[in-house]
Amino acid sequence: MDDPSPIRPFEILFDRAEPSPIADEAYAPYGNFGFPAAPAGRPWIYSNFVQSLDGITTLLGKHGSGGEISQSREDRWLMDLLRAHADGILTGMNTLLEEQRSRGPESRGIVFQVADPKLRELRKRLGKGRERNIFVTRATDLDLSRYKVFDGDMVDAAVVTSPAGAARLRAQGSHPHVAIVAAGEGESFNLPLAVQKLREELGVQYLLCEGGPTLYGSLARADLVDEKFMTVSPIEVGQAVPPEQERLPTEQNISPLLRPTVFGGPGFTRDNLTRWTWLSSRKVGDHQFNRYRRKRR
Ligand SMILES: NC(=O)c1ccc[n+]([C@@H]2O[C@H](COP(=O)([O-])OP(=O)(O)OC[C@H]3O[C@@H](n4cnc5c(N)ncnc54)[C@H](OP(=O)(O)O)[C@@H]3O)[C@@H](O)[C@H]2O)c1
């Protein structure tokens, strides 16, 4: 059952971010929370991840969700604060599949939404519209009716995909209310063009990337991440799945089975690695809440 007691306040170690867009009591537990203006032609893209002390984002197996790494009500609240400011939440398709899979075969997955009533009210006072969930997928065999997020009654939903993926989804004919954004050529998908289209076609100015590592890695390689919100959970889990952990059918026969960090897929060399300014830091108990902004000059 959800704990009804208030969350603990965040202790501000330092904060160099912009002032909050409005003066509002809802910011009280966290303090100042602002963004710069969005760039022309694409959204301001900020990510949110929680990792263990050793940099791991999922245990894999039966306890694969980010919440199992976080183990913090304040981290869940901060996720809501970030969602309250977003015109869209962008996730890779596996993150939705994992949430659905962990709830059992009858589940139709989850909807990524602001849960805290005070932060839902803040969102309204910020003038933000209906919440929007956006999924990145090649849509090779995605059946939209399998997931409640596409029903259209709770949030607006969108899919960004290749032109071939878009054609497959449109051919389903069942979900005209789901925005399908096609970027690329044939089966190939163009992520930089996709985020430009989110701005042009759906008016997304502030885009929150909630993972997973595969999507984050491809955004980072395209240098599309402007800010990172990074919670460090005071647990150590190790990268290789230990022999005593039960494996899912999809995890069998992989040796070693490695838990991902925030950054999936190919990374950088010493010559093209990216640099970041440490913008703010807070703590609650033994959890660290850091914010980094991309240094582009
Ligand atoms: N700790 C945290 O904060 C946190 C946050 C989020 C997720 N997670 C965990 O991370 C795990 C999921 O991460 P993941 O890396 O496996 O998956 P993911 O990034 O959520 O999704 C990967 C899928 O998204 C699509 N995709 C992503 N980037 C793409 C690109 N550039 N081009 C085309 N398609 C692209 C593809 O979908 P198709 O295969 O459909 O084509 C790909 O298979 C879960 O266990 C989840 O719980 C943890």
Q: Is the confidence at residue 261, as pLDDT, over 80?
A: yes
- Give me ligand 1 centre to Cα 24, in Å: 34
Position 98 confidence tier, pLDDT thresholds 50, 70, 90: confident
Q: Is the confidence at residue 61, as pLDDT, over 60?
A: yes
- What's the pLDDT at 135? 98
**Nearest Cα to Cα of residue 186 among 166, 157, 172:** 166
Q: Work out the average pLDDT over 60-79.
A: 95
Residue having the nearest C-alpha atom to atom 27 of ligand 1: 215
Ligand 1 pocket test, pick from 136, 143, 218, 241 with the greatest ligand atom count within 8 Å of Cβ, gives: 136
- What's the pLDDT at 1? 47
- Give me ligand 1 centre to Cα 91, in Å: 7
How far apart are alpha carbons 72 and 121 in whole angstroms?
Answer: 23
Residue having the nearest C-alpha atom to atom 28 of ligand 1: 215
Q: Work out the average pLDDT over 88-116.
A: 94
Antiparallel, parallel or unpaired: β 156-161 and 132-136: parallel
pTM of structure: 0.96
Q: Is 5 exposed, middle or buried (0-12, 13-18, 19+ CB in 10 A)?
A: exposed
Q: Work out the average pLDDT over 168-184.
A: 96
Ligand 1 pocket test, pick from 54, 56, 58 with the greatest ligand atom count within 8 Å of Cβ, gives: 58
| DSSP string computed for the chain | ----SPPPPPEEEEE-SPPPSS--GGGTTT-----PPPPTTS-EEEEEEEEETTS-S---GGG-SHHHHH--HHHHHHHHHHHHT-SEEEEEHHHHHHHHHHT-TT----------HHHHHHHHHTT--S-EEEEE---SS--GGG-GGGSSSSSEEEEEE-HHHHHHHHHH-S-TTSEEEE-EETTEE-HHHHHHHHHHHH---EEEE---HHHHHHHHHTT---EEEEEEES----SBPPTTSPPPGGGTT-SS-B---S--S----TTT--EEEEEEEEEETTEEEEEEEEE--
Half-sphere exposure of 64 (CA within 13 A, CB side): 24
Residue having the nearest C-alpha atom to atom 45 of ligand 1: 64
Of 57-66, 231-240, 262-271, give the lowest mean pLDDT range.
Answer: 57-66
Q: Is the confidence at residue 121, as pLDDT, over 80?
A: yes
Q: What percent of the chain has pLDDT over 90?
A: 93
- What's the pLDDT at 10? 98
Joined together, the tokens standing for residue 191 give: 């992520």
- Give me ligand 1 centre to Cα 178, in Å: 20
Segment 16-45, tens digit of pLDDT:
999 999 999 999 999 999 999 999 999 999
Contact partners, residue 271, CB within 8 Å, separation at least 6: none
Q: What percent of the chain has pLDDT over 70?
A: 99
Average per-residue pLDDT for the chain:
96
Of 198-207, 244-253, 277-286, give the lowest mean pLDDT range.
Answer: 244-253
Burial 205-224 (b: 16+ CB within 10 A, else e): bbbbbbbbbbbbbbbbbeeb
Residue 21, CA distances (Å) to 72, 123, 186, 202 in order: 26, 11, 42, 22
Q: Work out the average pLDDT over 195-214.
A: 97
Position 207 confidence tier, pLDDT thresholds 50, 70, 90: very high
Q: Cβ atoms within 10 A of the Cβ of 295, count?
A: 9
Q: Work out the average pLDDT over 72-78.
A: 98
162 lines ligand 1 (CB under 6 A): no
Q: Is the confidence at residue 2, as pLDDT, over 70?
A: no
How far apart are alpha carbons 34 and 95 in whole angstroms?
Answer: 27
Q: Which amino acid is at 112?
A: F
Ligand 1 atom nearest to CA at 162? 33
Q: Cβ atoms within 10 A of the Cβ of 26, count?
A: 22
- What's the pLDDT at 168? 97
How far apart are alpha carbons 151 and 145 in whole angstroms?
Answer: 7
Q: Work out the average pLDDT over 256-270.
A: 97
